[in-house]
Amino acid sequence: CDELLMLYQPKFHVRRQKVTCAEALIRWRHPTRGMIPPVEFIPVAEEAHLIDRVTLWSIRRVIEDQRRMRAAGHDLRLFVNISGQLLSDPAFVSEACALVASSGATLGFEITETSVIRDPVSAIANLQVFADIGIRIAIDDYGAGLSSLAYLKQLPASELKIDKLFVTQLTSSNRDPLIVRSTIDLAHALEMEVVAEGVESHAALALLTVMGCDLVQGFLISRPVSTEALIAFLADESWQPAAGQES
């Protein structure tokens, strides 16, 4: 795992006007091939049954990075992406719980709905185990895959992330604002907070604010960055999305 590294992308709380949490996004720095994005190696790790080791490494890394952020005065909940197949892996579930419970870390897990559909009974039971020890569950990529309202209601999730597919085109499409608004209302009716991912423009942020979206994540706020860069970003108190430069 020496070649793996973790970057963090902040999630900005719209009403509180501050960064309250961040998502951990893994990278593989290959000695000859350079930086390999997760979309290329996570599926391979899943197929080779190495994803449990990679994810336990991620959780350890995130716990350690949260200690460094706390030492610098920044207490953010950090979210880790969890592959679907791990939700029905009892060895992973108990190791992950032991790591988190013994560390005092404040974490969240991002899971997709599709990952639950594979083995719903054990996935839902294990998500409840995570939620019971204080891990916040976020439903990732909502709207991108197969969605089932039946599962949505049963999941012990407190956060719904609208897929960037609907957010990046928000201000140039006729249909996407309707989908996003009704998703926000649905999530609120289920007592979940809503995160819009892929927020790239001030116009999108403004529309999401009017629609009552709770948190935003995307290049407008920050790209995924190292722990040191995140600490520097959080220390800049003058920073506001309205003043942030577009990259």
Alpha-carbon gap, residue 217 to 152, rounded angstroms: 22
Among 224, 230, 231, 241, binds ligand C2E (CB under 6 A): 224
The residue number with the shortest CB distance to Ca ion is 110
Minimal distance, residue 71 CB to Ca ion, in Å: 26
Element (H, E) at 20: strand 18-30
Minimal distance, residue 4 CB to Ca ion, in Å: 17
The span from the first CA to the last CA of the chain, in angstroms, equals 31
Query: Which span (92-100, 178-186, 217-225, 231-239) binds ligand C2E, by CB under 6 A?
Result: 217-225
The residue (of 50 and 235) whose beta carbon lies closer to ligand C2E is 50
Among 89, 141, 176, 193, binds Ca ion (CB under 5 A): 141
The residue (of 4 and 129) whose beta carbon lies closer to ligand C2E is 4
Which 8-state DSSP code applies to residue 119?
A: S
Q: Is 81 in the site for Ca ion (CB under 5 A)?
A: yes
Q: Is 83 in the site for ligand C2E (CB under 6 A)?
A: yes
Burial of 37 (0-12, 13-18, 19+ CB in 10 A): exposed
Q: Is 87 in the site for ligand C2E (CB under 6 A)?
A: no
Q: Which residues contact 48 (CB under 8 A, 6 or more apart)?
A: none
Q: Tell me the pairing of strands 159-162 and 136-142.
A: parallel
Q: Which residues contact 247 (CB under 8 A, 6 or more apart)?
A: 219, 223
Alpha-carbon gap, residue 86 to 52, rounded angstroms: 7
Question: Which residues contact ligand C2E (rule: CB under 6 A)?
Answer: 9, 25-26, 37-39, 42, 55, 58, 81, 83, 110, 140-141, 164, 168, 197-200, 218-219, 224
Question: Which residues contact Ca ion (rule: CB under 5 A)?
Answer: 81, 110, 140-141
